[in-house]
């Protein structure tokens, strides 16, 4: 079958959950046996998300091939259980760079290089390349909202592609409810569809983000003013993200899209997904996990960690409450660590950059280590756990990471040798999927059940090989290592209910139906505490 293309555009506001709608449509088609290739278009000039601040833009997700991408790709991988590549995330920066590189090589010799046709053609080629002419559906989420200057070339590319290929347009728009009058307001959606039509795109389906289920009268109104059949006005009311495929299914979104493409409505299998959603909505128990991070970044900057905890917790019939620990307050003595961690079932120290709050994070790690509180450290969390152990168990006074204190007398964490010559910041860390050799009989081995796994990395610093033996002599177990270089990748402590840290990011490989084993082990240990 020749690939078919579904474009998902957005209206009125950003942050409507367009990414979740996009991948939910993909999930429904996949559950009917079709192959699906998602593409996220980010209309910014950065080549990728790697240089952006996660507290403003949300987490930087890392793919197996080492690309640093928009956090929506994390949802795509979690929903579709597929390994994606840099091809699945297009930015304005990438497309301009490609065209400008070609121009420098002389491939357009004699021509004036322009947005139309060169950039717009380049976008169409990219979109088609995602399907490689063999994926049944390419689903393209156009970032931003219709009417933004930035996404005009992408929408123009979509319009032109529809002249040559089988294309479907779904528009996700806000339908607010004015509480004082108790009425849904359709005007913002009408305006955004008008904008879309000005560009030359008539949507086939309008997916309305609302607080409450949309009533028939409102659907009729949207239908009439926006030129879409009433049955193609869909209610996307507030619910948990993993339930969105089921919400769209109830309204036969998949069937309607398939009919439009002249395809049959095949058998359907979402049983396990539905069970997962049921369990997620009805947890038996609750636990509290302390997360050291910035409260302001709570929603999006730690999204994969929160999802990985949700996957593990749901499989164990429980729910996670978060306690956000602002570690600068611990360093400054405004809060003492005992009070901050009072009553928590586990402590998680996530990845990060720079020195802010590092001393406070180490206080949390020390408290968890000495008081048998389950602890999971990720990337920077691994480096700080190593440093804390060096200082307080090995007696290496003022040990530190050179990222935090370049003049430390004991650089237990130092730059990776291959990073010494690197000055540019974009895409230059040790990135992506790498092999981890697991030590037989270790705790990590028990959790993974194998001695060789692949996990994703994003770091410049590592445990300094010069300090490995002294750390080991004092009882730190490095249970995961790189196969060919002396890079320490997992550490653990014996005689502790759960003290594990990883140089990699296990949160990136966790899936709803396949929680990452380290997260499962952590949540299991957290459940036992106080029980």
Binding site for ligand GLN (CB under 6 A): 351-353, 379-380, 403, 458-461
* Nearer to ligand GLN among residue 171 and residue 459 (C-beta): 459
For residues 186 and 205, what is the distance between their CA atoms, to the nearest angstrom?
A: 15
329 is catalytic: no
Radius of gyration for the chain, computed over Cα atoms and rounded to the nearest angstrom: 25
Tokens read off for 435:
């092999």
Closest approach of ligand GLN to the CB of residue 431, in Å? 10
- 3-class SS string, 56-104: HHCCCEECCCCCEECCHHHHHHHHHCCCCCHHHEEEHHHHHHHHHHHHH
Using DSSP, state whether 208 is helix, strand or coil. Answer: strand
With contact defined as beta carbons under 8 Å apart, do 413 and 358 qualify? Answer: no
* Nearer to ligand GLN among residue 42 and residue 59 (C-beta): 59
Using DSSP, state whether 444 is helix, strand or coil. Answer: helix
* Nearer to ligand GLN among residue 363 and residue 505 (C-beta): 505
How many whole angstroms from its chain centre is CA 276? 19
* Nearer to ligand GLN among residue 355 and residue 474 (C-beta): 355
**Largest separation between any pair of C-alpha atoms in the chain:** 76
* Nearer to ligand GLN among residue 143 and residue 352 (C-beta): 352
Tokens read off for 490:
């997992």
Closest approach of ligand GLN to the CB of residue 357, in Å? 13
For residues 214 and 455, what is the distance between their CA atoms, to the nearest angstrom?
A: 43
Closest approach of ligand GLN to the CB of residue 512, in Å? 24
For residues 471 and 85, what is the distance between their CA atoms, to the nearest angstrom?
A: 37
507 is catalytic: yes
- Which residue has its beta carbon closest to ligand GLN? 351
Closest approach of ligand GLN to the CB of residue 379, in Å? 3
- Print burial letters for 6-27: b (CB count within 10 Å at least 16), e (below 16): bbbbbbbeeebbbbbbbbbbbb
Closest approach of ligand GLN to the CB of residue 463, in Å? 10
DSSP 451: S
Phi and psi for 108 in degrees, rounded to 5? -110, 25
Closest approach of ligand GLN to the CB of residue 352, in Å? 5
Phi/psi-derived region of residue 358, left when phi > 0, alpha when psi is between -120 and 50, beta in every other case: alpha
* Nearer to ligand GLN among residue 326 and residue 403 (C-beta): 403
* Nearer to ligand GLN among residue 348 and residue 380 (C-beta): 380
410 is catalytic: no
Closest approach of ligand GLN to the CB of residue 430, in Å? 8
Q: Choose among 108, 106, 154: nearest CA to 5.
A: 154
Closest approach of ligand GLN to the CB of residue 175, in Å? 39
DSSP 403: T
With contact defined as beta carbons under 8 Å apart, do 208 and 175 qualify? Answer: yes
* Nearer to ligand GLN among residue 120 and residue 380 (C-beta): 380
User: Which residue matches tokens 């445990």?
Assistant: 463
Q: Which of 208, 379, 394, 463 is catalytic?
A: 379
CA dihedral for 177, 183, 189, 191, sign (positive or negative): negative
Answer whether the bond into residue 518 is a cis peptide, omega within 30°. Answer: no
Q: Which residues are known catalytic residues?
A: 379, 505, 507
């Amino acid at each position: 079958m020749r690939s078919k293309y579904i474009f998902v555009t957005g209206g009125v506001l950003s942050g409507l959950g367009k990414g979740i709608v996009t991948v939910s449509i993909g999930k429904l088609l996949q559950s009917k046996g079709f192959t699906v290739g998602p593409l996220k278009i980010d209309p910014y000039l950065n080549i990728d998300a790697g240089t952006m601040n996660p507290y403003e833009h949300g987490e930087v997700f890392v793919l197996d091939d080492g690309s640093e991408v928009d956090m929506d790709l994390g949802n795509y991988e979690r929903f579709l259980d597929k390994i994606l590549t840099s091809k699945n995330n297009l930015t304005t920066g990438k497309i301009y760079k490609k065209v400008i590189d070609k121009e420098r090589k002389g491939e357009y010799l004699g021509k004036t290089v322009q947005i139309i046709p060169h950039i717009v053609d380049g976008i169409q080629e990219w979109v088609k390349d995602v399907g490689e002419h063999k994926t049944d559906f390419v689903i393209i989420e156009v970032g931003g909202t219709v009417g933004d200057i930035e996404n005009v070339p992408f929408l123009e590319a979509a319009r032109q592609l529809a002249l040559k290929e089988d294309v479907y347009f779904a528009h996700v728009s806000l339908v607010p409810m004015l509480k004082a009058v108790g009425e849904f307001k359709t005007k913002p959606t009408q305006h955004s569809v008008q904008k879309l039509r000005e560009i030359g795109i008539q949507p086939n389906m309008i997916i309305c983000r609302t607080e409450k289920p949309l009533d028939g009268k409102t659907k009729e109104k949207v239908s009439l003013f926006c030129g879409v059949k009433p049955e193609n006005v869909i209610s996307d009311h507030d619910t948990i993200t993993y339930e969105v495929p089921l919400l769209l299914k109830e309204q036969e979104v998949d069937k309607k899209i398939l009919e439009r493409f002249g395809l049959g409505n095949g058998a359907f299998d979402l049983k396990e997904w539905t069970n997962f959603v049921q369990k997620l909505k009805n947890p038996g128990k609750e636990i509290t996990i302390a997360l050291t991070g910035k409260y302001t970044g709570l929603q999006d900057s730690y999204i994969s960690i929160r999802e990985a905890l949700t996957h593990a917790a749901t499989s164990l019939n429980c729910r996670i409450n978060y306690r956000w620990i602002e570690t600068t307050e611990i360093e400054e003595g405004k809060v003492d660590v005992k009070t901050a961690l009072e009553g928590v079932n586990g402590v998680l120290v996530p990845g990060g950059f720079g020195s802010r709050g590092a001393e406070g994070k180490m206080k949390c790690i020390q408290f968890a280590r000495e008081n048998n509180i389950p602890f999971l450290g990720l990337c920077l969390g691994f480096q700080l756990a190593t440093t804390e152990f060096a200082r307080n168990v090995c007696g290496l006074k003022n040990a530190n990471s050179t990222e935090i204190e370049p003049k430390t007398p004991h650089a237990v964490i130092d730059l990776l040798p291959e990073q010494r010559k690197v000055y540019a910041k974009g895409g230059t860390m040790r990135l992506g999927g790498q092999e981890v050799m697991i030590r037989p009989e270790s705790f990590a081995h028990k959790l993974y059940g194998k001695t060789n796994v692949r996990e994703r990395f994003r770091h410049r610093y590592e445990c300094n090989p010069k300090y490995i033996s002294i750390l080991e002599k004092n009882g730190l177990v490095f249970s995961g290592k790189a196969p060919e270089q002396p890079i320490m990748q997992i550490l653990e402590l014996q005689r502790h209910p759960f003290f594990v840290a990883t140089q990699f990011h296990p949160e990136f490989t966790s899936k709803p139906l396949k929680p990452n084993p380290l997260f499962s082990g952590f949540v299991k240990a957290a459940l036992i505490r106080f029980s």
